Amino acid sequence: DYLESTAVIDESNLTAEQQLGLKQAEERLERDYISRLEKRSPEYTNCQYLCKLCLVHIENIQGAHKHIKEKRHKKNIMEKQEENELRALPPPSSAQLAALSFTLIEAANEQGISDDDFRIRQDIVKEMEKIIQQPLPDCSLRMYGSCLTRFAFKTSDVNIDIKFPPKMSQPDVLIQVLEILKNSAVYSDVESDFHAKVPVVFCKDVKSGLTCKVSARNDVACLTTDLLAALGKLEPVLIPLVLAFRYWARLCHIDCQAEGGIPSYSFALMVIFFLQQRKPRILPSYLGNWIEGFDSKRPDDHQLKGVEEEEFVRWEYKPPPNGAAKNSVGAESKTKVDQQKGGGKKATSSEVDNQSNAKEKHGNVRCGFLSLRTIFYLTSLCFIFKH
* Residue 262 placed within a domain: yes
State whether 70 and 14 are in the same domain: yes
What is the chain's alpha carbon radius of gyration, rounded to the nearest angstrom? 29
Q: What is the pTM of this model?
A: 0.67
Quote the CA–CA distance of 317 and 276 in Å, as a whole number. 23
* Residue 225 placed within a domain: no
Crossing angle of the two packed helices 71-87 and 61-68, in degrees rounded to 10? 80
Q: Give the domain range for residue 367.
A: 236-379
pLDDT at 288: 59
State whether 14 and 62 are in the same domain: yes
Domain boundary among 217, 244, 270: 217
Q: Concatenated DSSP letters for 121-168?
A: HHHHHHHHHHHHHTT-TT-EEEEESHHHHT--BTT--EEEEEE--TTS
The beta strand positions in the chain, using DSSP E, are 34-36, 49-51, 56-58, 140-144, 158-163, 187-193, 200-205, 211-216, 302-308, 312-317, 366-370
Q: What is the chain's pLDDT, residue by residue, as a tens digit (387 residues)? A: 444 556 677 777 888 898 899 999 999 999 999 999 988 888 888 899 999 999 999 999 999 999 999 999 999 999 999 999 999 999 999 999 999 999 999 999 999 999 999 999 999 999 999 999 999 999 999 999 999 999 999 999 999 999 999 999 999 999 999 999 999 999 999 999 999 999 999 999 999 999 999 999 999 999 999 989 988 888 889 999 999 999 999 999 998 888 889 998 899 999 988 988 888 888 766 555 666 777 878 877 877 788 887 777 777 788 777 644 444 333 333 444 444 444 333 333 333 333 333 333 333 334 444 444 433 433 333 333 333
* Residue 94 placed within a domain: no
